[in-house]
Structure 1
C-alpha cells in the first residue's frame, strides 16, 4: 500500500462510485478500477460491494477506511511539522455555524488574511453536530460551534458569548407572554443538530409550551426571509438580528435569565498539530469576537 492507494480508496468510498471518484481525482476510470483491484489483491479481501448503483464498503472496507483517514492525516501533519517555522502559511480548513459565518467571521477573516496572506483558508458551514463530526474525521482543522460540547478527543476554546433572542416579523410587536403566543405560532429552525434549535426546544419544554408547528430551513437567509414575511418566529443570536433589521422588517424580544446566553467555542482534535496558522487564527478570533 502507498499513500496514493489510500487517497484513491477514500475517494471511491466517499463518492460511492468509481466513475465519480475518477472525475474528482482527474484519473481515467480504468486506472481507478485497477488500483482498487490491486489493493484488494494485496490485502486478500474485498473492500467494496459492486452494484449497478455504484459501490459500497464491505466490513473489511469499513475497517480500512478508519485507518486510511488516519494515515492521510498523519502524512499531511508530517509535512506541516517539517515545513512549520512559526510563520502561518499553507492550508487551513475552518468550519462555522451559519450565524457565526454571517456576522462574526467576515471581520475575523479580513484581519487574519491581511496579517497572514500565505495561509490558504477555506470555510465550511454546518450545524454544531455536523462540524463536530467533520473535526473528528480530520476533515477540518478547527470549527466554531455553540456550547455545550463535551468530547474526550476535542480541544475546546471559548472565543465569545452570544445572547439568543426571539425574532418575529413586524406584524408581531411583542412576545410579552411567550407561553401564550408561541402556542399559536410556527417556529422556524435550522435542521437537527443545531445547538440553537436544541436550546429552543429545551426552553419550550421547560416552559411547557407546544408550538403550533415547527418548520425546518437550511439557511440563515431562509429563516430571516420567512420571519420577515410573517410565517413564524425563530431564536437567533442578537448580533445576527440587529444586523438583519437593516434588510428585514423584524423585531427581537429579549428573554430574561442566563439560559439563552450561549458561549461560542472553537474546537479542534487534541491529537492534531496546533500549527502557527491555527494558533494565530484562535488568537485573532478571540480578540475580534
Structure 2
C-alpha cells in the first residue's frame, strides 16, 4: 500500500463510484477497480460494499479513510515545509464561530491579502465543535473558537475574553420578565454551539419552560429577536450593529457572562510563515 492507493481510496469514497473516481483521477476505470481489489487482497478486508448505484465505504474502509486524510494532509504539509522560505504563500484556511473576532475578519482578510498577495485565504464559519473537528482532520489550518479547549492533539492559544449578554425584544425590560413570557422561545444556532448551551443553561437554571428555534445565520437569528419572537445569547460586541436600537440587552449573572476566545491548531502541524503572519496581524 502506498500514497497513490490511498488517493484512489479517497476518490472512490468521495464519488461513490469507480467510474466517477476514475474520471476525477484521470485514470481508466479498470485500473481503479483493479487497484482497489489488489489493496483489499493485501489488507485482507473489504474496503467497499458494491451495490447497483455504485459503492459505499465499509467500516474497514472508513477506518482507512481517516488515516488516508491524515496522511494526505501530512504529505501536503511536508511539501509546503520543504518550500518554506519565510515568505507567506499558498493556501490558508481559517475557521471562526460567531464571536467578537468574526466581525473583524473581513477587514483583516483585505489587509492580509494586500500584504501577502501570494496567499489564498479562506474563512470558514461553524460552531466550536465542528471547527475543532475540522482542525483535527486537517481540513482547516486553525480556528477561533470558544474556550476552554482541552485536547492533547491541539495547540491552544488564548486570544482574549468576550462578554456575553442576553438579547430580547425591546418590550422586555429585565431578566425577571422571562418568567412572565408565554410560549418563550430560545433562538439558537446548531446544537454544538457554545452560546446555545449557555442560553439553555441560563433558562434551565431559572426553571423556565421554552421552545427552541434553530437557525444557521446571525441575521436570521436577530430578525426573530427584533420581531419579538424570543431571546438569545450573544457576545456584546456583536450587538453594536444596525439592529442595536431594536433589541434589549440584559446583563447575565457573573458565572455566565464571560467566555474565552482561543485559537486552535494541530500540535503536529509545521507552524508556517503563512499562518504566523495571519496570527500576528490578528493580535
- Mapped to 2, the partners of 1:7 and 1:175 lie a distance apart of 58
Q: TM-score, normalised by structure 2?
A: 0.88
Q: Shift in Å at residue 24 of structure 1?
A: 5.8
Distance 1:77 1:164 in 2: 37
Is the CA contact 1:183–1:209 (under 8 Å) kept in the aligned structure 2?
no
**Structure-1 separation of matches of 2:177 and 2:23:** 53
Structure 1 length-normalised TM: 0.86
Equivalenced residue count is: 283
Deviation of residue 145 (structure 1)? 0.7
Which residue of structure 1 lines up, in the alignment, with residue 131 of structure 2? 131
Structure 2: give runs of 5+ residues left out of the alignment: none
**Structure 1 residues 123, 53: closer, same or farther in 2, change over 3 A?**
farther
Going from structure 1 to structure 2, the CA distance change for 1:203 and 1:140 (only over 3 Å counts) comes to same
Q: Which residue of 2 aligns with 1:282?
A: 279
**What pairs up with 1:58-137 in 2 under 5 angstroms?**
58-99=58-99, 102-137=102-137
Match of 2:195 in 1: 196
Q: Match of 2:241, SS?
A: helix
* Structure 2: distance between partners of 1:24 and 1:227: 46
Residue 38 of structure 1 deviates from its aligned partner by 4.4
Q: How does 1:30-69 map to 2 (within 5 A)?
A: 32-52=32-52, 54-69=54-69
CA contact (8 A) 2:162 2:261 kept: yes
Q: 1:179: Cα distance to partner?
A: 5.0
Separation of aligned partners in 2, 1:115 and 1:200: 40
Shift of 1:70: 2.2
* Distance in 1 separating the partners of 2:242 and 2:99: 11
By how many angstroms is 1:43 displaced? 3.9
Contact 2:146–2:194, Cα closer than 8 Å, also in 1: yes
Q: Say which SS state the counterpart of residue 224 (structure 2) adopts.
A: helix
Indicate conservation of the 8 Å contact 1:162/1:264, yes or no: yes
Shift of 1:98: 3.7
Q: Say if 2:227 is the partner of 1:226.
A: no
